[in-house]
A = this chain, B = another copy of it.
Amino acid sequence: MVQKEKITEPLHRIVSDPGRILTKETDLVSYGYDASFGFYKPDVVVQVKSEEEVAGILKMANKLRVPVTPRGQASSLSGGPLPVEGGIVLDFSQWREKLVIDSEDMVAVVSPGVITADLDQEAAKYGLLYAPDPGSSHFSTIGGNLAENSGGPRCLKYGVTKDYVLGLRVVSPQGEIIRTGGRTVKNVTGYDLTKLIVGSEGTLGVITEATLRLIPRPLSSHTVMLIFDHFVEAAETVTKILTSRIQPAKIEMMDQASIQAVEAFKPQGLPVDAEAILLVGLDGHPAAVADDTARISEIASQMHVRSVRVDHSESEARELWMARKLVSPAIAAKKPTKISEDATVPRSKIPAFCKKLQDIKKKYQIDLVVFGHIGDGNLHPNIICDKRDREEMKRVWQAVEAIFKAAIELGGTLSGEHGIGTMKRAYMPWELTPQELDLMKRIKTAWDPNNILNPSKIFPSVRPKLVHSR
């Protein structure tokens, strides 16, 4: 068993500033959580600030067989930054020095601890856009976004985080400093390690710098709110819009339970008897956006929309979006525990998926609220519960399993944007065959033979616990 001193002693040689090595009990406890479930206390936390430090720590950890878990702002909903097997947590949140926009190359070069929204705000000064917009963008780090391949509403038009990563600087599990990709959109020199590492949930490498693609910032935007009596008409409207050669930036949905939760929490004048609200965000050239707005209203009318609201100013747009923004706080206010799922189905299967969700709600008698990115099939069924109520939680976890099963049966996936982490690893065999999992594991083993980098994530198999001091 490796003693805590065996780790902290070499750490002090690697990290010059002892203030960035945390070993106090109170610190360790606060690093034992993220935004998902479970508590796992690390043995030591290092607030890293350079690639050399990360490389030094990984080399040492690899030698001593100590688990290392990278962590940004810990907003993960799947357990990515939880130090399940103890060991060292690398806290990247303090490493945010670099945020360079190159408007000619249309790239941003960033440290891992930069907050995602700050990056986009900086890009805006140059008329550029960093497109991915996860719900956590105002507090999550870009490093965490990259590790999890974050999504968001705007992915409908712009794609996911991975689509905006041109190059990385990475420390491998064995402590080698490497670069992947480069500074150009086109690069086919060797295997695409960039897109393998992005989304690998910190299990294949530790990202220390990223070169991200920026695009011209749209000149204008519009928001349309569509209120429907019947859910199925809302779902059909989504399909109709997307097959009419219109490309909205985002199409968000609130079901009746979401509408009622918002109205109970902070009234917005939404009709509580409506089965669904769609919020459509359009961006681009002003004439195109105006035209598409009119066409969407027309399509919605054909689909028996109850009412259409269009913004006439930025403040009106903000008001319309407020309804959607309030869903999470509104449901969180109802009960202490909120389980946010992100199982994703092909767009054509959304009506069937929503029907199954309502069946699950009834069968397990759970408080289920459904909202999210309906345009790309990435809904967020949220279960509101109290984790201290063991009887209720038993039904809740059964319902969660039923949701996973429903999504997979409809040709969808366990996770659209939150990641597998600790939360969904047990269900991986539901979606992937042993052969498929084996090919993934072979990569992990080839790169991290001692399984020190973020162990006990993604893969369902339980491997022997590492030797460490917990």
| A contact set with B: CB distance below 8 Å | 102-107, 126-127, 148-149, 151, 155-156, 159-160, 162-163, 172, 176-180, 182-193, 195-196, 198-200, 204, 215-219, 239, 242-247, 284-285, 287-288, 291-292, 344-348, 373, 376-378, 411-420, 424, 428, 431-433, 435-437, 439-440, 442-447, 458
Q: Assuming the A-B contacts A199-B188, A413-B184, are A291 and B287 also in contact, with contact meaning beta carbons closer than 8 angstroms in the complex?
A: yes
A190 close to B245 (CB less than 8 A): no
How far does the alpha carbon of A133 sit from the alpha carbon of B239 in the complex, in Å?
26
B216 close to A435 (CB less than 8 A): no
A181 to chain B: closest CB distance in Å? Answer: 8
- A172 contacts which chain B residues (CB < 8 A)? 435, 439
Residue from B163, B182, B243 within 8 A of A127 (CB atoms): B243
A347 close to B413 (CB less than 8 A): no
A239 close to B411 (CB less than 8 A): no
- A445 contacts which chain B residues (CB < 8 A)? 446
Q: Assuming the A-B contacts A376-B184, A417-B188, are A193 and B243 also in contact, with contact meaning beta carbons closer than 8 angstroms in the complex?
A: no
A399 to chain B: closest CB distance in Å? Answer: 20
- A155 contacts which chain B residues (CB < 8 A)? 185-186
Please give me the residue from chain B that is nearest to A107 by CB atom: B346
Closest 3 CB pairs of A and B: A285-B288, A287-B287, A186-B416
- A246 contacts which chain B residues (CB < 8 A)? 216
Q: Assuming the A-B contacts A189-B415, A446-B442, are A242 and B106 also in contact, with contact meaning beta carbons closer than 8 angstroms in the complex?
A: yes
B186 close to A151 (CB less than 8 A): yes
A377 close to B184 (CB less than 8 A): yes
Residue from B182, B216, B245 within 8 A of A245 (CB atoms): B216
A443 close to B191 (CB less than 8 A): yes
B199 close to A196 (CB less than 8 A): no
A247 close to B148 (CB less than 8 A): no
- A419 contacts which chain B residues (CB < 8 A)? 188
A428 close to B189 (CB less than 8 A): yes
A163 close to B160 (CB less than 8 A): no
How far does the alpha carbon of A190 sit from the alpha carbon of B247 in the complex, in Å?
29
How far does the alpha carbon of A458 sit from the alpha carbon of B386 in the complex, in Å?
55
How far does the alpha carbon of A432 sit from the alpha carbon of B178 in the complex, in Å?
9
A413 to chain B: closest CB distance in Å? Answer: 5
How far does the alpha carbon of A396 sit from the alpha carbon of B196 in the complex, in Å?
36
Please give me the residue from chain B that is nearest to A78 by CB atom: B188
A159 close to B163 (CB less than 8 A): yes
A155 to chain B: closest CB distance in Å? Answer: 6
How far does the alpha carbon of A244 sit from the alpha carbon of B444 in the complex, in Å?
44
A347 close to B435 (CB less than 8 A): no
How far does the alpha carbon of A378 sit from the alpha carbon of B103 in the complex, in Å?
18
A356 to chain B: closest CB distance in Å? Answer: 16
- A346 contacts which chain B residues (CB < 8 A)? 105, 107, 182-184
How far does the alpha carbon of A286 sit from the alpha carbon of B248 in the complex, in Å?
16
A187 close to B440 (CB less than 8 A): no
B180 close to A436 (CB less than 8 A): yes
Residue from B292, B344, B418, B437 within 8 A of A184 (CB atoms): B344
